[in-house]
Amino acid sequence: DGGITQSPKYLFRKEGQNVTLSCEQNLNHDAMYWYRQDPGQGLRLIYYSQIVNDFQKGDIAEGYSVSREKKESFPLTVTSAQKNPTAFYLCASSIASSRSYNEQFFGPGTRLTVL
């Protein structure tokens, strides 16, 4: 079955720690995205990547970092510089065409809690 996997499902972080959220897709999609979801808010874009070894900041990139060394993988690191990291994080992917850029397929999410 093709899809997007995220791990772990739940993650707890102590203040001052960096943590990395995993996202893997086997849909052969070129574009991948990271979103943050907070209660009562829509999704906010953290980073996106159009192609391997390239990524761009989204609307709320401060305190986060990403890498795209393989087409299938787009890990997100939440650094200690992110002051309020407790949230639900969603990874998504899409094929790279002019209209399908925006039709995204989502993973099941990772809930990060800062202790």
Partner 1 sequence: AQSVTQPDIHITVSEGASLELRCNYSYGATPYLFWYVQSPGQGLQLLLKYFSGDTLVQGIKGFEAEFKRSQSSFNLRKPSVHWSDAAEYFCAVGLGGFKTIFGAGTRLFVKA
Q: Give 103's contacts (C-beta < 8 A, 6+ positions apart).
A: 94, 95
Using CB under 8 A as the binding rule, whether residue 106 contacts partner 1 is answered as: yes
For residue 101, which phi and psi values (nearest 5 degrees)?
-50, -40
The region that residue 16 occupies, defined by phi over 0 for left and psi between -120 and 50 for alpha, beta otherwise, is: left
Residue selected from 21, 25, 36, 48 as contacting partner 1 according to rule CB under 8 A:
48
What does the alpha-carbon distance between residue 28 and residue 21 come to, in Å, rounded to a whole number? 20
Using CB under 8 A as the binding rule, whether residue 71 contacts partner 1 is answered as: no
User: Which residue shows structure tokens 């650094």?
Assistant: 79
Which of the stretches 14-22, 64-72, 74-82, 96-104 binds partner 1 when contact is defined by CB under 8 A? 96-104
The minimum distance between CB 115 and partner 1, in angstroms, equals: 20
Using CB under 8 A as the binding rule, whether residue 102 contacts partner 1 is answered as: yes
Binding site for partner 1 (CB under 8 A): 4, 6, 31, 33, 40-43, 45, 48, 50, 56, 90, 92, 98-99, 101-109, 111
